[in-house]
Amino acid sequence: MTQAFRTVALVGRYQSEGVAPALLEIARFLAGRGIRVLVEADTFEAIGRPELEAADAERIGREADLAIAVGGDGTLLGLARQLARSQVPLVGINHGRLGFVTDISLNQWPAALGAILDGSYSSEDRTMLVARVVREGREVWRALAMNDVVVNRSSRTGMIELQAHVDGVFMYSQRADGLIVATPTGSTAYALSANGPILHPRLAGIVLVPVAPQSLSNRPITLPDDVRIDIRVVDGREPRVAADMQVFSDLHVGDDIVIERAPFKAHLLHPAGYSHFATLRGKLNWHELPVLSRPPA
């Protein structure tokens, strides 16, 4: 059988206890199958094993056939932003709390990863967003997001006022703590905690979810994913924008945040039999029936 994955990259949330030994064990597992292993540069420095081969994101994008993230969902989100342009498939091994996209548990990785390397897996593409901050006609910040782009206020200040246009057409003005623009992947993250809807990953949509809006009639809305969304900061002190809550920029009143679907997608590999509904049952406890309380006798 032809080896589909000849070079595999590893990246880990190396600050967390137990991740470094797991990374080394996975590296040995891959090498034992005759696979060349690249270790992301920061991860390499942290685990301190000179016999491994370090590589930056650019080199991984050129040379790797597969990239494995060991950590929480945030680790995979960061890896997706780095490698989506290169279309390197991603696998997530969960060493975090929830694990929506890092769906292989740490105690089951040998069997799951071995099956993927043997060609037994399901694959899916996840929409990504490009966000730009335009200030007085000049772009001052740009970032990718796999989950969401969030425009919000500083924790030390009051509400901010935002104005949103979709494809150049005015949609609304709002005063709120912030506004979330989420992909289907991000619909089960911050957007869900702000009462946004769950979007299936194959749905071609983007959801806008206000955070604590002043007007209770200001509700979430789902838009086609081929629109351009312009959010203008009308008023507010110390506003900011975040991509995946990992990459940030301060904003000024009058700034425009331009959000569009990226021209590429993140390519995820899952163990065979993967089901988004099973993930929702397992992570959101959909399988649990509500507890009915009885009045005292």
Which phi and psi angles does 280 have, rounded to 5°?
-65, -40
Q: Which of 42, 56, 65, 73 is catalytic?
A: 73
- Residue 92: helix, strand or coil by DSSP? strand
Is 250 catalytic? The answer is no
The answer to whether residues 233 and 209 touch, using CB atoms and an 8 Å cutoff, is: no
Q: Positive or negative CA dihedral for 80, 82, 84, 89?
A: negative
Residues 6+ away with beta carbon under 8 Å from 248: 240, 241, 242
CB 209 within 8 A of CB 180: yes
Q: Give the C-alpha separation, 206 to 225, whole Å.
A: 5
Buried/exposed 155-188: b ≥16 CB within 10 Å, e otherwise? eeeebbbbbbbbeeeebeebbbbbbbbbbbbbbb
DSSP state at residue 257: E
Determine the 3-state secondary structure of 99 from DSSP: coil
The DSSP code sequence of 38-66 is EEEHHHHHHHT-TTSEEE-HHHHHHH-SE
87: left (phi over 0), alpha (psi -120 to 50) or beta: left
Q: Report, as residue numbers or ranges, the catalytic residues.
A: 73
